[in-house]
Amino acid sequence: MRICYGYINQYAHKMNLYIFNETNPATSYGIGTYIKELVVVLKNSGVNVCVVNLNSDKLQIMSEEIEGVLYLYFPPPIQWSNELSEHWDLYHHNIVYWLQLHIKNKENLIFHLNYNKKGKLAKELKDVFKCKIILTVHYLDWCFKLLGNQVRLKKILETQQLVQRDKEIELLKDSFQIEKDTFQIVDYIICLSNKTRQILQDDYKINSNKIVTICNGLTDTTSVSEKSMLRQKFNIPLNVPIILFVGRVDNSKGLKYALRGFRIILKMCPDCRFIIAGNGDFDLHMAECEDIWMNVIWTGLIKKEKVYELYTIADLGIMPSFHEQCSYVAIEMMMHGLPIVCSTSAGLYEMVENNITGLHIPVIEYTDKTEIDSSLLAEKMLYLLQHPIEAKQMGQNGRRRYLNNYSSNIFSGNMLKIYESCWHSDDGKIKVLIVTGQSNHNWEVSHLAIKQILENSGLFTVNVAISPETGKIMSNFNLDFASYQLVVLDYNGDRWPEETEKSFLDFVEKGGGVIIYHAANNAFRDWKEYNRIIGFGGWEDRDETAGPYIYMRDGRLVYDKESYGCAGSHGIQHEFVLNCSNPEHPVTKGLPVAWRHAQDELYDRMRGPGIVKDVLFWGYSDPATKGSGRDEMAIFTVDYGKARIFHTTLGHAGNTLDNNIAMQCAGFQVTLLRGAEWAATGNVTQPVPDDFPTEKSISLRKNYK
């Protein structure tokens, strides 16, 4: 995510940020590190920062200021029980009451929570203060109990009846509901991985408009240390391979599978050492080490400086965890240039690139258990030990990935951006950017019509980027796509600057929503990735080298690689019937399976290298209107990585907003609105309107609402 710091700092001094922490085991691990890093990157930003420590070890309410940051400490309740939520409700009520009395500047208040079961606290804060609340999801409670097994979670959530012995299941469902209630109350949710974001959308049914993915970041504290000297310090010869595990010693980290894999490795590499750095329940794993004690080193809980020394001397890092969000250990390993063998649990799958920065081991999910194949794990570890040059290259790649994705600078920019967005978010509306300004069509009319359609729905807030005129200097046409959830392309002119093209591809690759509108599929004949994104295109001298003809035949999609000829044409403008190919898609669900579109162009003879995902509507291109005589796609989605791409060939602009019948068609407007919401969020919440066209008659919205 890119950021304009000048713009942010314009508002930063007005922000009063309260970060909530809580004394528990998580504080010593990921959440504690997160808050420390957050404070570091915010200290000099102009944001007024206060860290609120709940359930602290202090005997009374205390405060202290350290380097410009205020720290508040609240002792635990005198009498409390984890089983009695009302005790905690009263405790949180008292916290809010105290804050109400002592917060002097109540403008632009942002409360940043870091624990999921704080719905009552969040609600009371919103009731008392005019504030915004952000929640960072560091973990999901069921992941600990089910070892991240989403298959088991879905089965449990679908269970309607509970018997007496299902007390644990009942508690898990209750915990899930408490988390869900919290997610619904807060204004913004920060997920540390895209997988978690998807879980919140799919399983918790949280509106994606309020969810953003921001990875953890760490300050670079690596140093040049002599490897041989450090090995002497740990009494390990230079030529002895070292495998390193860092983290809590518990079942969720998959350590027992790592130990079993290590036992296999010792048959091929008897001098190998396995260092386990972390605290926890050692008794759970001692049985795995009975006959390999001399090769396993248990450090227990050690200081960060010592852990960093271990990164320096190790040959590879191992992370067979069943669930991770955005692991600081993985970041540290990449920061130190260490290749990683890791599981495919949510966060690790996204963090570690298979065969580039490390090697993946699949997590095997059954309906009743979760496992990792120890022999496969051993195979991957042994491969890196036996291929040191390749392992070194993966480590170097990991270092670059750290700098590009997980450095403190990246983290700082992203967090400042979300804080600023709290007060400039247009009340949760979907943020849209229309790119226009050069086109062989009447873009002055089309982009205004699109803007009115989107904004009049009440679901979107729209900005417009207008390019320089055709042939003029384009070097300053730099766009920050990352600030938006949806990009609408109404453009087919000169190539964008390289920086803008890279920014657009980055936006798409990270799962951004895109609408390809009408003649935007004429653009950029020679831009390979753009042509994959649009699915198919026409004109601009496209021919068979641009890809096969793509059309419909007998309700099926055809990729015609045999026919030669130019790409892109349409008959005369006329009314035509559109037929639904996928009535269960969120965009089409509930809409008529056939409807009549107002006078418009029906594109035909289109070619492309892209992969069509879902054909939503198609129309017959009648030779009587100089068409192709084929069933041609009119509205469809494109399969391109994580992105949601909605492509409509409809909506040829008229001379004026008043004389603009194709875009005034209610069918065009409704499908555009539903496609926009789906592309931005993955869901469609809009009801089917009464004025949607029928197969026999068109319907117009001349006021675009």
Give the 3-state DSSP-derived string for 230-292, with helices as H, strands as E and coil as C.
Answer: HHHHCCCCCCCCEEEEECCECHHHCHHHHHHHHHHHHHHCCCCEEEEECCECHHHCHHHHCCC
Name which of 25-39, 156-170, 213-227 the model is least confident about: 156-170
Give residue 424's pLDDT band: very low, low, confident or very high (50, 70, 90): low
Q: Are 495 and 441 in contact (CB under 8 A)?
A: no
Q: Are 673 and 680 in contact (CB under 8 A)?
A: no
Q: Are 601 and 522 in contact (CB under 8 A)?
A: no
Q: Are 596 and 697 in contact (CB under 8 A)?
A: yes
pLDDT of residue 406 exceeding 90, the answer is yes
State the Cα–Cα distance between residues 592 and 276, nearest whole angstrom: 61
pLDDT tens track for 341-400: 999 987 899 999 999 999 999 998 888 888 999 999 999 999 999 999 999 999 999 999
- The pLDDT, as a whole number, for residue 11 is 33
State the Cα–Cα distance between residues 354 and 398, nearest whole angstrom: 11
Q: Are 327 and 319 in contact (CB under 8 A)?
A: yes
Looking at every residue in the chain, the average pLDDT score rounds to 89
Amino acid symbol at 188: Y
Give residue 2's pLDDT band: very low, low, confident or very high (50, 70, 90): very low
| Of the candidates 674, 634, 673, the residue with the CA atom closest to the CA atom of residue 449 | 673
Q: Which residues pair with 435 in a beta bridge?
A: 465, 489
- Whether the CA torsion 583, 585, 590, 594 is positive or negative: it is negative
* 624: phi then psi, degrees, rounded to nearest 5: -65, -25
pLDDT tens track for 68-115: 899 999 998 876 555 556 777 888 999 999 999 888 888 789 999 999
**Residue range 684-696: mean pLDDT, rounded:** 94
Residue 196 or residue 482, greater confidence: 196
Q: What angle do CA 334, 338, 339 make, to 5 degrees?
A: 95
Packing angle, helices 408-423 and 5-12, rounded to 10? 60
- Residue identified by tokens 């009063």 is 16
- The pLDDT, as a whole number, for residue 618 is 97
| Of the candidates 176, 247, 286, 217, the residue with the CA atom closest to the CA atom of residue 25 | 247
pLDDT of residue 605 exceeding 60, the answer is yes
Q: Are 70 and 103 in contact (CB under 8 A)?
A: no
pLDDT of residue 532 exceeding 80, the answer is yes
**Residue range 112-128: mean pLDDT, rounded:** 91
**Residue range 460-476: mean pLDDT, rounded:** 91
Three-state secondary structure call for residue 474:
coil
3-state secondary structure labels for all residues of 310-321:
HHHHCCEEEECC
CA 350 to chain centre: 10
pLDDT of residue 428 exceeding 50, the answer is yes
- The pLDDT, as a whole number, for residue 425 is 55
Give residue 276's pLDDT band: very low, low, confident or very high (50, 70, 90): very high
pLDDT of residue 3 exceeding 50, the answer is no
Name which of 107-121, 286-300, 678-692 the model is least confident about: 286-300
* 597: phi then psi, degrees, rounded to nearest 5: -95, 145
Paired tokens of 112: 């940043």
Give residue 633's pLDDT band: very low, low, confident or very high (50, 70, 90): very high
- Residue identified by tokens 């009520």 is 93
Residue 370 or residue 452, greater confidence: 452
What lies within 8 Å, CB to CB, of 434 at 6+ separation is 447, 450, 451, 462, 463, 464, 465, 487, 488, 490
CA 195 to chain centre: 7
| Of the candidates 193, 189, 148, 157, the residue with the CA atom closest to the CA atom of residue 175 | 157
Name which of 161-165, 332-336, 633-637 the model is least confident about: 161-165
For 500-509, the CB contacts below 8 A with 24+ separation are 501/527, 503/2, 503/478, 503/479, 504/479, 505/529, 506/481, 506/482, 507/481, 507/482, 508/533, 508/640, 508/641, 508/643, 508/645, 509/641, 509/642, 509/643
**Residue range 303-321: mean pLDDT, rounded:** 93
- The pLDDT, as a whole number, for residue 485 is 92
Give residue 1's pLDDT band: very low, low, confident or very high (50, 70, 90): very low
Paired tokens of 363: 């997590």
- The pLDDT, as a whole number, for residue 225 is 66
Give residue 4's pLDDT band: very low, low, confident or very high (50, 70, 90): very low
| Of the candidates 672, 165, 159, the residue with the CA atom closest to the CA atom of residue 452 | 672
Q: Residues of the chain with pLDDT > 90: what percent? A: 63
Paired tokens of 101: 């009395």
- Whether the CA torsion 601, 607, 610, 616 is positive or negative: it is positive
Paired tokens of 283: 């008794």
Burial 117-133 (b: 16+ CB within 10 A, else e): ebbbbbbbbbeebebbb
- Please state, in angstroms and as integers, the Cα–Cα distance from residue 234 to each residue in 238, 266, 312, 622, following that order: 11, 20, 12, 80
pLDDT of residue 645 exceeding 90, the answer is yes
**Residue range 583-596: mean pLDDT, rounded:** 96
Paired tokens of 176: 């899930």
Q: Residues of the chain with pLDDT > 70: what percent? A: 93
10 Å Cβ neighbour count for 393?
14
State the Cα–Cα distance between residues 427 and 569, nearest whole angstrom: 43
- The pLDDT, as a whole number, for residue 8 is 28
- The pLDDT, as a whole number, for residue 160 is 62
**Residue range 405-413: mean pLDDT, rounded:** 89
What lies within 8 Å, CB to CB, of 387 at 6+ separation is none
Packing angle, helices 666-681 and 443-456, rounded to 10? 70
- The pLDDT, as a whole number, for residue 572 is 97
**Residue range 305-320: mean pLDDT, rounded:** 93
Q: Are 75 and 58 in contact (CB under 8 A)?
A: yes
Adjacency order of strands within the sheet including 358-361: 296-300, 273-277, 242-246, 316-319, 340-343, 358-361
**Residue range 300-316: mean pLDDT, rounded:** 91
